[in-house]
Amino acid sequence: MPLSSLGWDDFFARQFAPYSTGGFLPARVALEHKHAYELYSAVGELAAECTGRLLHTATARADLPAVGDWVVVRVRPDEARACPEQRRRADIHAVLPRKTKFSRRAPGSPAPDSRPNYVAIETEFGQRSGEQVIAANLDTVFVVTALDSNYNLRRIERYLAAVRSSGAMPVILLNKSDLAADPAAARVEVESIAIDAPVVVLSAARDANPAHTLAPWLAPGRTVALLGSSGVGKSTLINRLLGTARQRIAATSAERDLGRHTTTHRELLITPSGALVIDTPGMRELQLWDVAAESLDETFADIAALSAQCRFHDCSHRSEPGCAVQAALDDGSLDLGRWQSFQKLRREQAYAARKADPRLERENKAAWKKIHKTARQIHRAKYGE
Ligand code: GDP
Ligand code: ZN
């Protein structure tokens, strides 16, 4: 399999250059399982482990390989193989820099509010880090919503912000078009918040060929993932995109225990068109707190533009004179729900940024201490001890 069909390009070739001598090969992570990895490479599938040195020098969990990563490996000598079909074994020496990544916070950095499906990551690295990469090097992320009771513009905004902060390009899929009374109207409404993200209406279950509809993002070697609430049709769509490929995987999984060269469980899957689909439990459980400030501004470009028109550059958009945001809310050109959604995301983002940066957290604590002290002084001056 040529590397380009696995997503290899000039960017990764440049990162690999320092390793081009010394018997190293590039390979792409298809599955991570307790520090054992399944890789795709130009010499076929590999079963790999990190070298002791890589484990030792990793200061954060995010320094270790994740699904979708390009890694630098050395294949172990051939004689170790018991039979020709057995997968070759390899050692992972390094992780190449990522083009894009989806991360989540590891334990020790609590969520802004209680998150029922937050999964504690219990590994020897869990305690060291604030970040765990759950998928790397995605080109496109399909933000999937169903045109039924799941349909919610505010949720789409949150997913868009998450995708933009990952660096991948978002495409909004409005699924279950067969259940919608007026799919065209829904598309117009979603386009109003999509900024530059394409909006596609489809039925993963009923359309004759969903892969054809999504062809612009499924070119050979392009990597996509799906994001959306449970029940919106992500599995249905992935199965349709893979065609019979996934069934074949299921049929051969019994052979896994034999260590045979078979397509067993993978989280990086190859569609018949040659696109790569990442489907991990982590992506399915992704929480939307790790959103960067810039991606909020992109997602809410209309609000950013309004803020720039306020009379005061540090306007808090509450009661200042000449506030363009309040004016837009008053005349209805800015939807109140959208404004509240933006504020909520911004508060969460600020909270996450403070948690990730101890200095900001200390400054915040010091600021509050000062406020409390001042409040006490005022109270004392007014009412005595
Ligand atoms: P996931 O949780 O996002 O992976 O969602 P699933 O793929 O499991 O789909 C949830 C349910 O929605 C299943 O019963 C699917 O058959 C159904 N479903 C998926 N796509 C469509 C669609 O286009 N139209 C209709 N009517 N049902 C769909
Ligand atoms: Zn303002």
Q: Is 358 in the pocket of ligand 1 (CB under 6 A)?
A: no
Question: Ligand 2 (ion): which residues have CB within 5 A?
Answer: 310, 315, 317, 323, 325
For tokens 């000598």, name the residue.
77
Task: Report yes or no: 196 and 250 within 8 Å, Cβ to Cβ.
Answer: no
What is the average pLDDT across 192-207? Answer: 94
Task: Report yes or no: 180 and 147 within 8 Å, Cβ to Cβ.
Answer: yes
Please give the pLDDT value at position 172: 98
Q: Is 233 in the pocket of ligand 1 (CB under 6 A)?
A: yes
Please give the pLDDT value at position 229: 82
Phi then psi for 2, rounded to 5 degrees? -65, 145
Please give the pLDDT value at position 280: 87
Q: What is the position in ligand 1's atom list of the atom closest to the CA of 175?
A: 23
* H or E segment to which residue 365 belongs: helix 358-383
Alpha carbon 320 to its chain centroid, in Å, reads 37
Please give the model's pTM, rounded to 2 decimal places. 0.73
CA torsion through residues 207, 213, 218, 219, sign: positive
Please give the pLDDT value at position 154: 81
Q: What is the position in ligand 1's atom list of the atom closest to the CA of 239?
A: 7
Alpha-carbon span 42 to 133, nearest angstrom: 25
Residue 6 tokens read as 């696995």
All structural domains of the chain with their residue ranges: 3-97, 138-279, 293-383
Give the range among 204-213, 237-246, 348-357 with minimum mean pLDDT.
Answer: 348-357
> Is 186's pLDDT higher than 60?
yes
Pocket test for ligand 1, best of 226, 236, 242, 280 (most atoms within 8 A of CB): 236
Q: Taking Cα atoms as reference points, which of 198, 206, 268, 265 lies closest to residue 237?
A: 206
CA torsion through residues 223, 270, 194, 299, sign: negative
Question: What Å distances lie between residue 297 and 104, 305, 342, CA to CA?
Answer: 21, 9, 9
Alpha-carbon span 322 to 308, nearest angstrom: 11
pLDDT tens-place string over residues 244-302: 655 444 444 444 444 443 445 789 999 999 999 999 888 876 655 445 556 777 788 89
Of the candidate CATH numbers 2.30.30.40, 1.10.40.50, 1.10.260.40, 1.10.1060.10, the domain formed by 293-383 belongs to 1.10.40.50
HSE value, Cβ hemisphere, 13 Å, CA-based, for 363? 9
Q: Is 183 in the pocket of ligand 1 (CB under 6 A)?
A: no
What is the average pLDDT across 192-197? Answer: 91
pLDDT tens-place string over residues 112-161: 333 333 333 333 333 444 678 889 999 999 999 999 877 888 888 888 98
Percent of the chain with pLDDT over 90: 50
For tokens 């078979």, name the residue.
262
Q: What is the position in ligand 1's atom list of the atom closest to the CA of 179?
A: 26
Q: List all residues 6 or more positions away from 362 whose beta carbon is below 8 Å from its beta carbon.
A: none
* H or E segment to which residue 364 belongs: helix 358-383
CATH code of the domain occupying 138-279: 3.40.50.300
pLDDT tens-place string over residues 34-61: 779 999 999 999 999 999 999 988 888 8
User: Measured in angstroms, how far is the CA atom of residue 206 from the centroid of ligand 1?
Assistant: 10
Question: Class for domain 3-97, per CATH?
Answer: mainly beta
